[in-house]
Amino acid sequence: MQEKQAIQELFASLKEFNVPSYAEWEEAALASLKGKPLEQLFTNTYEGIKLNPIYTRKDQKTDLQTEYRDFLNYEKPWEICQHASGNTMEELTQSIHQLINNGVMTVIVEAESIQTKEDIERLLRDVPFDRASLRINEPTKRFFEELTSYKGENKQNIHGIIGFDPIGYWITNGSLQNSLQVHFDELVEIAKSAIEHLPKVKTILVQGHAFHNGGANAVQEIAYSLAVAVEYINQCLERGLSIDHVASQLTFSYSIGSNLFMEIAKIRAIRFLWAAIVKEFGGNEESQKAFIHAHTSKTTKTKYDPYVNILRATVESFAAVIAGANSITTSTFDEPFNRSSAFSERIARNVQSILKDETHLNKVLDPAGGSWYIENLTEELSKTAWSLFQEIMKNGGIVPSIREGKVQQDIQAVREKRFENIDYRKERIVGTNMYANLYEDPLSTTKIEKNVLQGSIEVIEPIPSIRWSMKFELLRDQAYRFTKLTGNKLSVHLVNIGSYIHHKPRTDFIKGFFEVGGFEVTQSSSFQTIEEISEELHETNQQVLIVCGNDETYDRLGVKVIEALRKFHSTSKIYVAGKLNSTKKDEYDKAGLSGTIHTNTNCYEFLLTLQKEMGGYDEKA
């Protein structure tokens, strides 16, 4: 009783702290901006949503928190998923057993790993599917027929996802082996068979991965994938299934990127919109609950500085958990360039084990609920995605939009805008276009061959699969190739003028600028006079020189420094770090300046052009 009273007194004492009003915050913010407009604190996203610098209770227009909880499973935490692998069925079943014993709750098996009726029987006979669910993406129709005809006792324990997604395959590969109508016929036939023979198995899979991996924003991922789901609903209804049967067979699978709050809002928005769609079709409350699988994004992973991928996958897994995903796959850190090792698989698996067993996130119901920022973002995302979804429906649905190339073009526009921001380093990729470590030993790589059986029916322009780091990685690859072939490194030399404390900011900027392209950066001491520059640099043989100093030093020595350097390096490229006073540009040009490098320079294009000019870029490599 005394303890309770003490707590009440503590909370009562906290009331002496006044909660500032929005007007008071705005006044303080404007003071800190020192004359700049408050608009500078707002952020525009790739989704076309403007983010506020601060959110308050007034920004929560509806009570999404209470409604969202109706779509969650209170009693069952998310399932940890991981791929099983093996060159033989014996190795595959051993891998599955090991995963289950290590806490994996859903085992993902590649369809091509199981080729024969005997393989299927071995899988179902030897794997304890009462302890874990099974997931197989894009199996053949024959595989499913063999599975349903299996007579063994373990068949009744089979639960999970054996998912068919013909539109997802189509948009990823650019063609199908049969017409869409034939694939829709098979989809419905398999769904009916599952309802009768495998009631714990879902067979209709809607994947947002192709859109995400092609560079789509969250609005596009939501709208396009829901349009695919509606297409499957309509095809199933036309062939005799009820909406509740279709919903019971359908599952969603999405990639989760590194924009934490946007990804949380994305999953939440999908649940709201799916519930609205199913309700409109007449589905019951249970059918309105979406089963959502989340997979950490392939687009965010990097080949260089690869251990950072562990941190990225952790953040993405965390976002999926907070959003309320039903099952989650955490990718391995070596996914972009290698076949996963036992080490990388263990690290990936343990990311979720820590989130579950050590941080106890499985004990919290809807941890994002009530956040003014997330609730507002969810609502904005839902409205914007719904608007795009309606556009698609007015165009006849997702199939005509894909055939006409509208989906591909709209994703390309977002992809190009984001790549442009990465090129300019407005968007940072740690270890790739910022903070590159040229002294790291690259991990060994194994080229992963994917055998995709493509048909020649329903040919379209596929959505390419990209990684945001790929362009800068190519620059690094070319630099390493040049060194391997010639024994020399692509290099630039910094000419530092003025005192150390004055030139250091631009020296550091230029060093980081060139290192992301694989260039070795050497630098001079801090020159104070033209005589010092002439004495040290007259015998050096440098193809590229960059002058680094502050604006005051440039006004005093800049043009003379360029003249002195050009005297000894008539064919070299000579740049100045930072923007120059426009009134002196002509003087610099006459002195022999090649150009300037600053924060508004397109880093990728600059380095690509320089590599080609220095003979360090091979188009065929």
Strands (E), 160-246: 160-164, 201-207
pLDDT at position 153 is 78
pLDDT class of 520 with cuts at 50, 70, 90: very high
Residue 411 has, within 13 A of its CA and on its CB side, a CA count of 28
What pLDDT is attached to residue 455? Answer: 62
Residue with tokens 């104070």: 528
For position 17, what pLDDT does the model report? 66
Which residues 6+ apart lie within 8 Å of 282 measured at CB? 243
CA–CA distance, 496 with 120 (Å, rounded to integer):
69
Q: What is the dihedral of CA 81, 86, 89, 92, to 10 degrees?
A: -30
Nearest to 565 by CA among 534, 608, 528: 534
| Domain extents in the chain | 64-76+136-147+155-423, 474-613
Per-residue model confidence (pLDDT) at position 448: 55
Each residue's pLDDT tens digit, 399-415: 999 999 999 999 999 99
- Least reliable range by pLDDT among 134-143, 199-208, 383-392, 461-470: 134-143
pLDDT value at residue 225:
98
Q: pLDDT category, 237, cuts 50, 70, 90? A: very high
The confidence score (pLDDT) of residue 75 equals 61
- Which residue in 619, 618, 572 sits closest to 595, CA to CA? 572
Is residue 351 very low, low, confident or very high in pLDDT (cuts 50, 70, 90)?
very high
Return the minimum-mean-pLDDT range out of 313-322, 530-539, 607-616. 530-539
Determine whether domain 64-76+136-147+155-423 maps to CATH 3.20.20.240: yes
Among 57-71, 235-249, 525-539, 557-571, top mean pLDDT goes to 235-249
Q: Are 259 and 299 in contact (CB under 8 A)?
A: no
Quote the percentage of the chain above a pLDDT of 90: 75
Contact status, residue 292 vs residue 270, Cβ threshold 8 Å:
yes
pLDDT digits (tens, 9 = 90+) for 253-292: 999 999 999 999 999 999 999 999 999 999 999 999 999 9
Alpha-carbon distance 294 to 255, whole Å? 6
Average pLDDT, the chain: 92
- Lowest mean pLDDT: which of 52-56, 412-416, 442-446? 442-446
Are the beta carbons of 310 and 347 closer than 8 angstroms? yes
Domain spanning 474-613: CATH 3.40.50.1820: no
Question: Is the pLDDT higher at 494 or at 19?
Answer: 494
Higher pLDDT, 381 or 115: 381
Pairing of strands 50-51, 43-44: antiparallel
Are 504 and 545 within 8 A, CB to CB?
no
What pLDDT, on a 0 to 100 scale, did the predictor assign at position 361? Answer: 93
Q: Model confidence at 581, in pLDDT bands (50, 70, 90)?
A: confident
Take residue 48 and report the two structure tokens written for it. Answer: 């076309």
Residue 522: predicted pLDDT: 95
**DSSP string for 209-229:** HHHHHTT--HHHHHHHHHHHH
Q: Is the pLDDT of residue 453 over 60?
A: no
pLDDT value of position 339: 82
What tens digit of pLDDT does each residue of 120-174 get? 889 888 899 889 999 998 888 888 988 888 887 778 889 999 999 999 999 999 9
Assess whether pLDDT exceeds 80 at residue 13: no
**pLDDT tens string 62-71:** 665 556 666 6
Q: How confident is the model at residue 365 (pLDDT cuts 50, 70, 90)?
A: confident
Q: Is the pLDDT confidence value at 447 over 60?
A: no
Is pLDDT of 518 > 60? yes
pLDDT tens digits, residue range 285-327? 999 999 999 999 999 999 999 999 999 999 999 999 999 999 9
Quote the percentage of the chain above a pLDDT of 70. Answer: 94
Q: Which amino acid is at 77?
A: P
Both tokens of 244, joined, read 């509740």
pLDDT (0 to 100) of residue 67? 64
**Helix (H) or strand (E) run with residue 384 in it:** helix 372-394
CA distance linking residue 488 with residue 160, whole number of Å:
55
* Confidence band of 35 (pLDDT split at 50, 70, 90): confident
